[in-house]
């Protein structure tokens, strides 16, 4: 195995305090390995915009120290390099970094790791202990072009009986951790100050979806960064809102975005930063799941549309950052949504929160339309190979017990409902509805009151006068905002209805199963099915079914048919309770 030109006295000597302060270990200045070692050039960057520690500067320093020590990192297709950008050494250990972690998991493929500086590798004693233990077990060499004080550091773990390298690393790691904590305290203070600055974005990290960092305009000081709308992301948000207002469900919108290859917020930012898509996500306790990509989901869309960042507000730990008057501090001059638009989409999501709308993983026309007469529960299409699909009462799956569960052939009731629906509403003209949002201060008022109530629970817990003063200042700000919202007037929304020149029959003919199902649900269509009787039925027994349409189309249906309320769909029977329409002509039931 290759060896270095260190003497025994040099290898066994301990560093003096002077050596530790300069970052230079005794004898390492003249170290040159007599045989070529296979090296991995390691590069790490916490903030991609930091030019002082750029990847190019790190590569140059790594190459120089590697060449001076006789370490070869390869070139071209055989280059051995680990580049981890936008990765914090304080939060992410070497084994958890995307590229470096892959090299560490394959120790037989190299002999030495080369970093520019100590802080590019670790910033905690725990991480350094883990790395030193690994290097001793696998007999590796760790090299730093510049130590904490500037001198070159070489830690040779190829002799497992010599503990000095590990001890020296841990001593230096302690200094690195103290430095890291000091930096963290300064950054935390700076971030807290920047949160109170209107329009100032902290820089670094992922901005809220829909925005991107931009230099602060000169009229606002020209110092630092602010947020501006990201045209590509805003286009996606507008598409989502447009489809939701067009009565598409959140699940359907998410599925279509994924099918069209639209990147989710997390992958979109990774692409903009030139990083790989996907990554770790939550799994079982203590575990992580690694995904190649992150997809749009109903949760992702709902969380995004309910975030006040769309209003341009600054948020900290999910709550608005407020000024002394209680007003939200803005992160941008150009919010993506107005308050009216934000409240409108929030109200739409609230209206669907209990019943989460349509599904697109089924071809059941009557989902949410067909119900069991005995228990009132929904019936679901059941498919079995070699058998005709049937709608069945699903009471057991709900934890209930239905006394007379219904079961009916799917094609029979699909055809029956299609014919009845078109007979009742087919000639009714369709309309295009435009909603002009109003303004209601109540949603923001309620959320601010809730924030004030939570803040009040901390009253009296402050131990210092300064903390008590900060608590009181925030309470006064919230109180002022509540008073302001209480004095704002509510503006009612407007609804403009324009005829399309088409009928429901026209729309039905051109629609697929999903769209037809949506038409039935929006119209308030409901089919109740009774349990059937034994016998060789070859068509639908109409005595088992009751179809009704109860919603905004009721007046048009009654006007069109010239019928009075309270008629039944069952031919030849007395009017059923609550029924609104019946068949125009009696249809004989099959024997």
- Whether residue 147 is contained in a domain is answered as yes
| pLDDT 10s digits, 172-196 | 555 555 555 555 555 555 556 666 7
Q: What is the CATH number of the domain that holds 17?
A: 3.40.50.1390
- The predicted pLDDT at position 553 comes to 83
User: Looking at the structure, do residues 509 and 479 belong to the same domain, yes or no?
Assistant: no
82: pLDDT confidence band, cut at 50, 70 and 90? very high
- Whether residue 193 is contained in a domain is answered as no
User: Looking at the structure, do residues 453 and 506 belong to the same domain, yes or no?
Assistant: no
| pLDDT 10s digits, 93-150 | 889 898 999 999 999 999 999 988 877 777 776 777 788 888 888 988 889 888 655 6
Nearest to 411 by CA among 366, 453, 376: 366
Q: CA 473, CA 467: separation in Å to the nearest integer? A: 10
pLDDT beyond 70 at 88: yes
Burial of residue 209 (CB within 10 Å: 0-12, 13-18, 19+) is: buried
Q: CA 357, CA 348: separation in Å to the nearest integer? A: 11
Token couple for 436: 């002009």
- The predicted pLDDT at position 264 comes to 93
If one compares 177 and 251, the residue with the highest pLDDT of the two is 251
User: Looking at the structure, do residues 166 and 76 belong to the same domain, yes or no?
Assistant: yes
User: Looking at the structure, do residues 416 and 527 belong to the same domain, yes or no?
Assistant: yes
Query: Where are the extended beta strands (E) located within 325-428?
Result: 370-372, 379-382, 390-393, 407-409
Mean pLDDT, to the nearest integer, of 311-328?
82
**pLDDT-wise least confident of 49-58, 155-164, 517-526, 574-583:** 574-583
Contact 143, 101 (CB under 8 A): no
Q: What is the value of pTM for the model shown?
A: 0.43
Scored b (16 or more CB within 10 A) or e, 118-146 reads: bbbbbbbbebbebbbebbbeeebbbbbbb
- Whether residue 450 is contained in a domain is answered as yes
User: Looking at the structure, do residues 430 and 445 belong to the same domain, yes or no?
Assistant: no
Mean pLDDT, to the nearest integer, of 310-327?
82
- Whether residue 395 is contained in a domain is answered as yes
- The predicted pLDDT at position 585 comes to 36
Mean pLDDT, to the nearest integer, of 155-175?
66
User: Looking at the structure, do residues 178 and 48 belong to the same domain, yes or no?
Assistant: yes
Tally of domains within the chain: 4
Burial of residue 320 (CB within 10 Å: 0-12, 13-18, 19+) is: buried
Instruction: Find tokens 């320093």 and name the residue.
Output: 61
Contact 296, 262 (CB under 8 A): yes
User: Looking at the structure, do residues 126 and 257 belong to the same domain, yes or no?
Assistant: no
Q: Residues in the chain, how many?
A: 591
pLDDT beyond 60 at 289: yes
- Whether residue 30 is contained in a domain is answered as yes
Mean pLDDT, to the nearest integer, of 251-273?
89
Structural domain including 478 reads 441-489
- Residue 524: count other Cβ atoms within 10 Å of its Cβ: 15
pLDDT beyond 70 at 26: no
Of 330, 361, 392, the residue that ends a domain is: 361
238: pLDDT confidence band, cut at 50, 70 and 90? very high
- The predicted pLDDT at position 210 comes to 93
Mean pLDDT, to the nearest integer, of 268-274?
86
Start-end of H helices in 31-81: 55-69
- The predicted pLDDT at position 176 comes to 56
| pLDDT 10s digits, 429-468 | 988 777 677 778 888 888 888 888 888 888 888 888 888 8
User: Looking at the structure, do residues 255 and 205 belong to the same domain, yes or no?
Assistant: yes
Q: Could you tell me which residues are beta bridge partners of residue 71?
A: 37
CA 87 distance to own-chain centroid: 20
If one compares 83 and 247, the residue with the highest pLDDT of the two is 83
Q: CA 151, CA 143: separation in Å to the nearest integer? A: 11
| pLDDT 10s digits, 479-513 | 888 988 888 888 887 778 888 899 999 999 999 89
- For residue 71, CA distances in Å to 7, 55, 527 come to 20, 19, 78
User: Looking at the structure, do residues 111 and 134 belong to the same domain, yes or no?
Assistant: yes
Burial of residue 88 (CB within 10 Å: 0-12, 13-18, 19+) is: middle
Mean pLDDT, to the nearest integer, of 369-378?
92
Scored b (16 or more CB within 10 A) or e, 164-182 reads: bbbebbeebbebbbeebee
Q: CA 112, CA 187: separation in Å to the nearest integer? A: 33
pLDDT beyond 60 at 574: no
Instruction: Find tokens 């009151």 and name the residue.
Output: 449
- Residue 152: count other Cβ atoms within 10 Å of its Cβ: 19
- The predicted pLDDT at position 311 comes to 92
Instruction: Find tokens 């005829």 and name the residue.
Output: 499
H/E element, 112: strand 112-117
| pLDDT 10s digits, 383-424 | 888 888 999 998 776 666 788 999 999 999 999 999 999 999
User: Looking at the structure, do residues 342 and 379 belong to the same domain, yes or no?
Assistant: no
pLDDT beyond 60 at 86: yes
Of 361, 390, 406, the residue that ends a domain is: 361
**What is the chain's Cα-based Rg?**
34
Q: What is the CATH number of the domain that holds 261?
A: 3.90.1750.20
Query: Where are the extended beta strands (E) located within 157-286?
Result: 211-215, 225-229, 279-282
Average pLDDT, the chain: 78
- Whether residue 187 is contained in a domain is answered as no
User: Looking at the structure, do residues 459 and 557 belong to the same domain, yes or no?
Assistant: no
If one compares 452 and 361, the residue with the highest pLDDT of the two is 452
- Whether residue 236 is contained in a domain is answered as yes
User: Looking at the structure, do residues 75 and 212 belong to the same domain, yes or no?
Assistant: no
- The predicted pLDDT at position 510 comes to 92
pLDDT beyond 60 at 319: yes
290: pLDDT confidence band, cut at 50, 70 and 90? confident
Q: In 3-state terms, the chain is what percent helix, strand and coil (to 5)?
A: 40, 20, 40
Of 321, 341, 361, the residue that ends a domain is: 361
If one compares 328 and 579, the residue with the highest pLDDT of the two is 328
- Whether residue 582 is contained in a domain is answered as no
């Amino acid at each position: 195995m290759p060896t270095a030109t260190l003497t025994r006295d040099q290898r066994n000597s301990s560093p003096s305090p002077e050596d530790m302060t300069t970052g230079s270990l005794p004898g390492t200045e003249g170290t040159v390995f007599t045989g070529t070692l296979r090296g991995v050039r390691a590069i790490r960057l916490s903030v991609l915009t930091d030019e002082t520690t750029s990847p190019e500067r790190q590569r140059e320093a790594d190459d120089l120290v590697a060449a001076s020590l006789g370490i070869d990192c390869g070139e071209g297709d055989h280059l051995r390099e680990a580049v981890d950008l936008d990765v914090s050494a304080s939060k992410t250990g070497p084994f958890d970094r995307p590229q470096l972690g892959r090299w560490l998991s394959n120790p037989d493929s190299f002999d030495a790791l080369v970093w520019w500086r100590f802080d590019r590798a670790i910033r905690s004693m725990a991480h350094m202990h883990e790395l030193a233990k690994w290097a001793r077990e696998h007999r590796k060499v760790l090299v730093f072009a510049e130590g904490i004080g500037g001198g070159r550091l070489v830690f040779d773990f190829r002799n497992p009986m010599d503990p000095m390298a590990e001890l020296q690393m841990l001593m230096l790691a302690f200094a690195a951790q103290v430095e890291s904590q000091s930096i963290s305290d300064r950054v935390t203070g700076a971030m807290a100050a920047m949160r109170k600055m209107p329009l100032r974005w902290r820089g670094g990290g992922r901005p809220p979806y829909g925005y991107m960092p931009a230099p602060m305009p000169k009229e606002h000081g020209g110092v630092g960064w602010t947020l501006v709308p990201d045209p590509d992301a805003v286009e996606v948000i507008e598409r989502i809102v447009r489809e939701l207002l067009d009565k598409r469900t959140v699940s359907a919108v998410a599925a279509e975005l994924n099918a069209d290859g639209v990147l989710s917020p997390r992958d979109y930012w990774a692409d903009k930063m030139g990083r790989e898509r996907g990554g770790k996500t939550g799994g079982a306790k203590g575990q992580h799941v690694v995904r190649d990509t992150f997809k749009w989901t109903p949760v992702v869309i709902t969380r995004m549309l309910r975030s006040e960042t769309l209003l341009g507000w600054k948020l900290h730990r999910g709550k608005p950052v407020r000024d002394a008057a209680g007003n939200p501090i803005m992160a941008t001059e150009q919010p993506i949504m107005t308050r009216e638009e934000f409240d409108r989409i929030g109200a739409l999501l609230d209206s669907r929160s209990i019943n989460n709308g349509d599904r697109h993983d089924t071809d059941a026309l009557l989902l949410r339309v067909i119900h069991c007469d005995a228990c009132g529960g929904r019936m679901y299409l059941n498919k079995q190979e070699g058998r005709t699909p049937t709608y069945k009462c699903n009471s057991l799956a709900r934890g209930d017990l239905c006394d007379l569960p219904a079961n009916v052939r799917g094609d029979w009731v699909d055809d029956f409902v299609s014919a009845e629906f078109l007979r009742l509403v087919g000639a009714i003209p369709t309309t295009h509805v435009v909603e002009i949002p109003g303004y209601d201060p109540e949603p923001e008022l309620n959320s601010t009151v809730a924030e004030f109530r939570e803040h009040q629970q901390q009253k009296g817990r402050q131990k210092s006068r300064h903390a008590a003063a900060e608590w009181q200042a925030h309470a006064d700000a919230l109180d002022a905002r509540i008073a302001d919202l209480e004095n704002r007037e509510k503006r009612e929304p407007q609804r403009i209805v324009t005829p399309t020149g088409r009928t429901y029959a026209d729309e039905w003919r051109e629609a697929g199963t999903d769209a037809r199902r949506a038409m039935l649900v929006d119209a308030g269509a409901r089919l109740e099915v009774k349990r059937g009787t034994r016998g060789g039925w070859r068509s639908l027994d109409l005595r088992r079914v009751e179809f009704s349409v109860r919603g905004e189309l009721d007046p048009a249906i009654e006007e069109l048919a010239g019928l009075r309320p309270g008629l039944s769909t069952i031919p030849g029977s007395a009017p059923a309770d609550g029924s609104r329409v019946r068949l125009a002509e009696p249809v004989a039931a099959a024997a």
